[in-house]
Amino acid sequence: MPTIRRYRPTDRAAVAEICIRTGDAGGDASAKYRDPGLLPTIYALPYVEHEPELAFVLDDDGMAVGYVLGTADTSAFVSWFRRVWLPTVEVRYPPPPSSARTPDDELSAALHRPERMLVAQVADHPAHLHIDLLPGYQGAGHGRALVGEFLGALRGAGVAQMHLSMSRRNTGARAFYDRLGFREVAAPDVPGAAFLVRDTLAP
């Protein structure tokens, strides 16, 4: 039976692989990008580097098959990303040419603009998370349990409000978040994305 535990450094490669295999609005992004390693470089690995205490994995016989990770303070995370994380990865992933519009270019632009995470409409919900599960582990309550671990960690850190962003194409994830009590906040300046918020103290 899979169990939830804290992230370990030895989970790093598995976390990156999960991010890739769920990175296309919940589907496998392996074939979408020339270098799919860019996905976890943006959406997974900086979080386990910066705040491993907020990272939890679903473990099946010693292998991470899902995770939840995030930050307690988006503004501080963005500052760290710009100052510390980006210099370690920008040689491999330089800024995209302004005229190119491939999927890799769009991802690279996101990497080099961490300030995109600072959305005024959710500034009063400072924490945010990312959660992904391999397909064979979805729909069995593991996602709810992972979010519960993350919320508990935020409460322990004295953080009362959190948010997340997601692609509007991922209708399955939206239904999942609705069931967990998230509500949408309008953010018209970010096309294609939905921003959801939640009180960490809510049942």
Tens digits of per-residue pLDDT, 32-67?
Answer: 999 999 999 999 999 999 999 999 999 999 999 999
Lowest mean pLDDT among 135-139, 142-146, 190-194: 190-194
Domain ranges of the chain: 3-199
Instruction: Kindly tell me the sign of the dihedral angle through the C-alpha atoms of 82, 83, 89, 92.
Output: positive
DSSP one-letter string for 46-69: HHHHH-GGG-EEEEETTEEEEEEE
> What is the predicted pLDDT for the residue at 193?
86
Residues 6+ apart with CB under 8 A from 15: 7, 40, 44, 45, 48, 55, 57, 64, 67, 69
Q: Name the residue among 74, 68, 66, 47 with its Cα closest to residue 131.
A: 68
Diameter of the chain measured on Cα atoms:
49
The answer on pLDDT for 82 being more than 90 is yes
pLDDT of the residue at 172: 85
User: Is 128 strand, coil or helix?
Assistant: strand
Which pLDDT score, from 0 to 100, does residue 66 have?
A: 97
| Residue 19 CA: distances (Å) to CA of 39, 71, 78 | 7, 17, 20
Confidence of residue 98 (pLDDT cuts 50, 70, 90): confident
Domain 3-199 matching CATH 3.40.630.30: the answer reads: yes
